[in-house]
Amino acid sequence: MVYGFRKVGKYCILVATVLIIFNIAGVWIYEGSYRRNSLLTCERENNNILSSTDKHIEGKSYDILINSYMRSGSSFMGRLLAWHPDTFYWYEPLWNYDSGVYYWGKDLLCVGRNMCGLAKNKTRHNLGRVYATFDNIYNCNLSVLSAAMTENITLIHSGKIWQPYKECRKKKLSILKCLQQMEQVCKSSKHKATKTVRLTLDNLESTLKTNPDVKLIHLFRDPRAIMNSRLTTKWFGLKELRFNDYKLLQEDATDLCNRMIHDFIAGIHLKQKYPQRFSFVMFEDLMDDKTKKSKILFEFFGLEMRIDKDLFKAVPVPTDDYKFTRRKSKNYADWWRLQLSVGALDIIDRSCINALECLGYKRFFTEENLRNLSIKAYDFQNQYKLQNILKTDHYEL
């Protein structure tokens, strides 16, 4: 059964609390308690917050912040919105600081698989530096971000806007000097953009508070698709180990889906405070009509409408006949259904059943239905859908 928002809001909060206590208890006592309290607090706050009066201003150029999870399609979303001639994009600016970890709330540093604790190295791992990094990008103070520059990552994934930096480095100038040159490129861009997969959603409210021109989207994707992508990505290091009862797969899926429920609740909170500056985006909804939905996203951020068949060109809006490379199915949103084993599906379903129900993803009880792509794997509430992104001023529980 697929639950709607109104039915499952409090149910999700209760289930998330129980799941997290059982998965964290015995590893970190303080951390388990913190996670439980953050979820309960979200419920209380949502009962008392009045909707903000902020409005979308048609024609205004907004800055872009994308939050999501590893292997969720967030890099695609970054290219779609930020590989644009009027946009300065810094891909994963936290990579150098926090590669391999993510922040859960204000206190916890997690390495995945429900292993969280207090950061031992406060100089390297602290949210103050995270917030400052985003603020500096949106204010084009790039010369203070030398430590965040990962040239083999940033320059590959951040688009053609970084060509002046490449030319600068070819002249043997320092990273600092080249970042100083990029400040003018940043300042002359209508939009500044970045994306991250290293924060729970509640940690980004600070960026919305201090940067009034920033709009934030949180990208959700079917956790079974995310887990399949992790299983088939060599560098991720996740494998199906049947002889070990899929232990690593179960731990990774549980960690992902606990985090998704936490972000779901945090997103309801943010939507009430910033109704026109925050939105959920469902990956499958976007891919259902790429051209139409891309234009809606462009309007949300005040991006100029352009259409190009090639996603990897400077101005990307994929057309409906766009073919994704390196994929085993032309249906980008559903190709995991042709690849994921039934055994792995069962493990992920059991670990993610509550996240699936909260977010509107359907379960498959036969392999025949799983492989039948004419059967949709989701049934999203209207308030989730991109067609309503400018109409929805809060998410109902």
Confidence of residue 309 (pLDDT cuts 50, 70, 90): low
CA distance 192 to 145: 15
C-alpha dihedral, 331 to 332 to 333 to 339, nearest 10°:
80
| Residue 369 or residue 327, greater confidence | 369
Between 312 and 232, the higher pLDDT residue: 232
Task: Tell me which residue has tokens 């970042």.
Answer: 179
Tell me: pLDDT of 316 over 50. no
Structure confidence by residue, pLDDT tens digits, 3-20 = 333 344 555 555 444 444
In DSSP notation, 67-130 reads E--TTSSHHHHHHHHHSSTTEEEEE-TTHHHHTT-EEETTTEEE-STT-EEE-S-TTTS-HHHH
Q: Could you tell me the pTM of the whole model?
A: 0.84
For 81, the token pair is 């919105």
Tell me the mean pLDDT in the region 321-328: 39
Per DSSP, the residues of 363-397 read: P-SSHHHHH-TTS-SB---GGGSGGGTTT--S---
Tens of pLDDT along 194-212?
999 999 999 999 999 999 9
Encode pLDDT of 248-272 as tens digits: 899 999 999 999 999 999 999 999 9
**Count of residues making up the chain:** 397
Average pLDDT, the chain: 82
Stretch 283-298: mean pLDDT: 93
Overall average pLDDT of the 319-335 stretch: 54
pLDDT bucket at 341, cuts 50 / 70 / 90: very high
Percent of the chain with pLDDT over 70: 78
Question: Is the distance from CB of 66 to CB of 75 less than 8 angstroms?
Answer: no
- Tokens representing 232 are 């088939």
Evaluate whether 183 touches 140 at the Cβ level (below 8 Å). yes
Q: Where are the domains of the chain?
A: 5-388
